[in-house]
Structure 1
Amino acid sequence: MAACGSLECLRTYDSSKVIRFQSLKYACMKWIFHIFVGAYVGYTLIIDRRYQEKDNVISSIHTKVKGVAQTDERIWDTAEYTMPMQAIDSFFVITNVIMTENQLQRRCPEYPIAKAICSSDKSCEKGSVDHQSNGIQTGRCVNYNATIKTCEVMAWCPVESQKGAPVPAVLKSSEDFTVLIKNNIHFPKFNYTTQNIPLNFNTSCTFNKITSPLCPIFRLGDILQAANENFSEVAVEGGIIGIEINWDCSLDKWFYYCSPKYDFRRLDDKTTSKYPGFNFRFAKYYKLPNGEEQRTLFKVYGIRFDVLVFGTAGKFDIIELVTYIGSMISYFGLAVFVIDSYISCCSCCKSPVKEYHFRKKYETVLNPRQVMYVSYVDEPHVTLITKHLKTSLQHTKGDSVESHPEKFSDAVNCCTNNSDRDPVTEEPEEMYPLQKRRQKASSPDRPAWCCCGKCQLTEKRHEQLCCRRKEGKCITTSPLFERLVLSRDNLKDALLYKEPLLDLNSTNVNDKLRHCAFKQYIHWRFGSFDLEHRTVIPSCCRWKIRDTYPKADGKYTGFKTT
């Protein structure tokens, strides 16, 4: 962006510069990339509904399990095999059980675990408790059976047997049990509420992904089958199954839908060897006729079903649409990046296309404080000096940056039409042919770096510059220099061309004419005012202009290196 004042910036518009390459190959690359990006933008806009404002679901769950099972000893109904919820939005179904009946608080032998086996009373510590024991040791070693002695404990006797879960599971028929899941959801941003119970709900339906995908009644065996699990195997030691309900809703009137999608997966690690499955203990207590308390201990295995609800709802929003389109437009700019990277990195190192592309696209801007531009009358190019001067500027080598552009613009030509002579065609030998005409120095005091004999001594290295690279006639002796640079009438016309109402009768008119002459010379020899502040005018030309339009106090600033 060009520099401008605060008020001027408000009245200007800056546009980016574009370089156009006439290449079928790169054009095809661009359009292929644009088509790909356009297809992606259209796909995400429609399929992902990026034009909608989104909101997350708030949910509540209510479940009812139904079914009856029979074992050798009893009938198990809903009150028997379902337990109070172990966590939020979950339910538990008993599939296997170990019962220890008729327990009373007594003294009895401990179950023969490693730390409880003893040979005498010395092996038992009174008051000792182990985290695997069923009670508190009394200090006695008693017979557990005819072959094993264990430490006596004060506990609920007889103590629980630590044998494994029964195989097959006691309630293996529970796979035919069904559960009704009632799910109420709410999207607060849109004040929208609904549930998973259809309006035409058939209470005899059972969920099936193909035939009844919206039925909220699920058979437990089907749930485990959908989770890629075998119900009979899981029922032995239990497990945790996730029931996922996903609500993906569009609340737009022209494209409304809001229905749940169900999915199932196992949540616990079935490969672990320590504490596999899912189990816990509970007891049922009774009072005997004599007032003594008795209980039945249950160690139950089963499946915990966790209901997990996810969902988002969307509704058309013009701000979301504009924001998305605006962000996607920037993706089209990647085509330029990809093609430029291909040209820069994938093309041959010496490819003409690569070099041409680099010259056209990139412009190197050096630090202005380290840059000086020089033009010699006997060389057809501008020389760039970026080195720190260790000798005179005349003898410092630089780089050729560009050929001379067209000399003198229309603005200058319009100021020189008062002459009947053609400054370009008349006496052509006064310009470039000067390099063929050699002459000796006109003064014994001529500086060593001077090739034209018109330069003046100076200690500043950056001002030690001649108009020529080789011996020859000075450019200040050319009629063109007189007409284009020193002519008072032409300089006044140039000043008035820029400022028509400028007062040329003021006391400082020489300063204006001198500065204008410097600019005329730069425009003539360098072809552009873009280099105005970093071009060095040869000593001979500089002093010729100063002598023609002197400063009142005779003190001149000169070229500034910093």
Structure 2
Amino acid sequence: MAPTFADCFDYSTKKEVRIQSVPLGVLKCCITFGVIVFVCFSLITQKSYQKKDSVISSVHTKVKGFANAYSRIWDTAEYTVPSPGGDSFFVVTNIVKTENQRQDNCSELPSQKTICSRDDVCKKGLADPQSNGIQTGRCINFNSTLKTCEVSAWCPVESQTTPVPAVLESAENFTVLIKNNIHFAAFNFTKKNILPKYNVSCIYDRVKAPLCPIFRLGDILREAGENFSQVAVLGGVIGIEINWDCDLDSLRYKCEPHYSFRRLNNKVVDERLYPGLNFRFARHYKTSDGKDTRTLIKAYGIRFDIQVYGTGGKFSLFELAIFIGSCLSYFGCASLAIDFIIGLYKPCCCNAKSVLKYYNDRKYEMVPGPAVPLCFSKSQLKFVSFADEEDILMVDNNLKDSLQFASGRYIQRERFAYTEANCKDSHKQNESEMRLIKGSSTTLPPAWCKCNKCIDVTQPEEQLCCRLGEGQCITDTKIFNYLVLNKEALEYAFQYDNPLSKTPESEDLKCYAKQKYIEWRFRCRRYMLDFAVIPSCCKNAIETCNLQTQHPSGALYLPPTHGMC
């Protein structure tokens, strides 16, 4: 049939197989409920319905405080080097001062490279980055017991002794004012951390004053888990983190800074080579004799790095639609899990009558694949059935010769074959059981039998009667004898399936009779046939009966069609 214009406007939908199963239903409900909880939790806590924007920030700081050390007053200009401002500030906490240094020759500080006993150990012109100057090639006395190489440098050289406790240990009482302005460009929103009702006398406290922008330096280190007196000796780096997590929706508006503190430098690893944090600077002047002189200061201190981060969010219908669309795929987890359970069945390793096989056969349909890729195939599909072949030949490639000799793939014919395990052995076993029963006239039918014609069997899965309640046995009906126990009818149906086959043996014919009974009682519902169980009374009647050759009335019985299908 040629395609029409209306075919462009059809609608296709997937076919579903609904499995009525309590365990699978409970599993589906649990997974679906879990997905709903996860989606709601993510929607509320992560505010996935909002459009997000990152913060743009600027920071300005002012440090204040005074200290009395080394017989002098230290103010902001003395202990903040360089000048305060920007995203970080440095506070001097300890110093090593070397005064009245002049350009001259003097002995180097003792070390493995500078200790000497004669002049040839010292190399003239050597400028070691770890030394204080350039060696002159001479070995001179450092003190009464030790000699070191002479260097041309600012003399006397810097002392290596660090004061303990720190010179400016009282700097923990200094305060710093942090001014932080933020802006969310996507929402044209600007705010600062100094509130309109700013109290100039407040000091930050995590509980009592969490929004105060004035911080005591000792409190900052305590919040970071450090001791100010210990860090002040060699210095360190402390991070001040300001987090702006703003909800800009009018009904739930909240935009306030959250402060946190932590130490940034690794005090365990770094301090083995370059302890703490320090730098050097000099103050130059001329003496009365006109010579250049300087005071060298090695300053230890704490650098405070201010890090501002955060996001602002505002309701967006577009973002909500994207979130809902992405979450819909999560609801497929239930189907994925159940399909995985059903798909565990493998015909090569599982029982042919397992529960998994039943659901596997009902859910999946096996279709042979094409011999060549579909996009390159231009041949017509043909199915061929030969009388002397059980299966059907599928030819989907171009013919180079007669169709009689065409190659292709064989497809199993859709038919039901009685597959009860060891049919002949079962036949012998049933005959043996019948002899035992007939030999004892006092044997009563088993308790589960309702028609009084079942034989007692030990396997629970075979303990089945043709009736649910007391009454006549189905084996006493004419239709049972017509369809199941008529020999010529069975031979006719057998050869209908296999046209060139010989007349089946008696035992094979009895197995075929069982197949016809199942086709009759289960109406050829393919998914039921492989799992059907024949009642004990019916199986007994087939096994112990000499199949009739003719219809009980004398006429040959031939079914009008193939079986019941």
TM-score (norm 1): 0.67
What does 1:487-502 align with in structure 2 at a 5 Å threshold?
none
Assess, with a 3 A threshold, how the Cα gap between structure 1 residues 168 and 437 changes in structure 2: closer, same or farther.
Answer: closer
What does 1:116-131 align with in structure 2 at a 5 Å threshold?
116-131=114-129
* Distance in 2, Cα, partners of 1:143 & 1:4: 112
What does 1:509-520 align with in structure 2 at a 5 Å threshold?
none
State the Cα deviation string for residues 412-461 of structure 1 (Å, max 9, x = none): xxxxxxxxxxxxxxxx9xxx9798479xxxxxxxxxxxx99xxxxxxxxx
* Distance in 1, Cα, partners of 2:163 & 2:181: 39
* Distance in 1, Cα, partners of 2:384 & 2:85: 85
Task: Return the offset for 1:121.
Answer: 2.7
Task: Return the offset for 1:343.
Answer: 3.6
The aligned amino acid for 1:270 is: K
Percent pairwise identity: 50
Alignment partner, residue 30 of structure 2:
32
The aligned amino acid for 1:167 is: V
Alignment partner, residue 206 of structure 2:
209
Contact map agreement 2:238 2:265 (CA 8 A) in 1: yes
What does 1:271-420 align with in structure 2 at a 5 Å threshold?
271-272=268-269, 273-345=272-344, 349-350=350-351, 352-369=354-371, 383-385=391-393, 399-402=412-415
Q: Secondary structure at the match of 1:205?
A: coil
* Distance in 1, Cα, partners of 2:415 & 2:233: 88
Contact map agreement 1:376 1:467 (CA 8 A) in 2: no
Task: Return the offset for 1:179.
Answer: 1.0
Q: Secondary structure at the match of 1:296?
A: strand
Alignment partner, residue 191 of structure 2:
194
Contact map agreement 1:250 1:258 (CA 8 A) in 2: yes
Assess, with a 3 A threshold, how the Cα gap between structure 1 residues 287 and 386 changes in structure 2: closer, same or farther.
Answer: same
The aligned amino acid for 1:115 is: K
* Distance in 2, Cα, partners of 1:322 & 1:4: 41
Alignment partner, residue 468 of structure 1:
499
* Distance in 2, Cα, partners of 1:286 & 1:36: 77
* Distance in 1, Cα, partners of 2:7 & 2:192: 58
Assess, with a 3 A threshold, how the Cα gap between structure 1 residues 77 and 113 changes in structure 2: closer, same or farther.
Answer: same
The aligned amino acid for 2:204 is: F
* Distance in 1, Cα, partners of 2:73 & 2:169: 13
Alignment partner, residue 75 of structure 2:
77
Contact map agreement 1:435 1:470 (CA 8 A) in 2: no
Alignment partner, residue 67 of structure 1:
65
Alignment partner, residue 11 of structure 1:
9
* Distance in 2, Cα, partners of 1:59 & 1:437: 93
* Distance in 2, Cα, partners of 1:40 & 1:254: 24
Contact map agreement 1:372 1:384 (CA 8 A) in 2: no
Let me know the Cα RMSD of the aligned residues. Answer: 3.8
Task: Return the offset for 1:85.
Answer: 6.4
Assess, with a 3 A threshold, how the Cα gap between structure 1 residues 366 and 397 changes in structure 2: closer, same or farther.
Answer: closer
State the Cα deviation string for residues 390-423 of structure 1 (Å, max 9, x = none): x989xx986343459xxxxxxxxxxxxxxxxxxx
Q: Secondary structure at the match of 1:253?
A: coil
Contact map agreement 1:376 1:468 (CA 8 A) in 2: no
Alignment partner, residue 260 of structure 1:
257
Contact map agreement 2:235 2:277 (CA 8 A) in 1: yes
Alignment partner, residue 463 of structure 1:
none
* Distance in 1, Cα, partners of 2:7 & 2:290: 98
The aligned amino acid for 2:65 is: G
Q: Secondary structure at the match of 2:251?
A: helix
Task: Return the offset for 1:168.
Answer: 1.5
Match of 1:221 among 206, 218, 223: 218
The aligned amino acid for 2:412 is: D
Assess, with a 3 A threshold, how the Cα gap between structure 1 residues 288 and 402 changes in structure 2: closer, same or farther.
Answer: farther
* Distance in 2, Cα, partners of 1:155 & 1:129: 11
Q: Which stretch of the first structure deviates more once superposed, 22-31 or 362-371?
A: 362-371
Assess, with a 3 A threshold, how the Cα gap between structure 1 residues 15 and 177 changes in structure 2: closer, same or farther.
Answer: same
The aligned amino acid for 1:65 is: V
The aligned amino acid for 1:233 is: Q
* Distance in 2, Cα, partners of 1:43 & 1:125: 73
Q: Which stretch of the first structure deviates more once superposed, 282-291 or 242-251?
A: 282-291
* Distance in 1, Cα, partners of 2:394 & 2:105: 103
Unaligned stretches of 5+ in structure 1? 405-427, 439-450, 453-465, 473-523, 529-562
Alignment partner, residue 47 of structure 1:
45
Contact map agreement 1:384 1:401 (CA 8 A) in 2: no
* Distance in 2, Cα, partners of 1:399 & 1:254: 67
Task: Return the offset for 1:105.
Answer: 1.2
Task: Return the offset for 1:9.
Answer: 5.7
Q: Secondary structure at the match of 1:151?
A: strand
State the Cα deviation string for residues 466-525 of structure 1 (Å, max 9, x = none): 9824379xxxxxxxxxxxxxxxxxxxxxxxxxxxxxxxxxxxxxxxxxxxxxxxxxxx99
* Distance in 2, Cα, partners of 1:271 & 1:222: 22
Q: Secondary structure at the match of 1:367?
A: coil
The aligned amino acid for 1:332 is: F
Unaligned stretches of 5+ in structure 2? 373-380, 397-401, 418-482, 504-560
Aligned pairs, how many?
418
* Distance in 1, Cα, partners of 2:296 & 2:4: 87
* Distance in 1, Cα, partners of 2:370 & 2:146: 100
Contact map agreement 1:378 1:434 (CA 8 A) in 2: no
Q: Secondary structure at the match of 1:254?
A: coil
Contact map agreement 1:376 1:469 (CA 8 A) in 2: no
Alignment partner, residue 150 of structure 2:
152
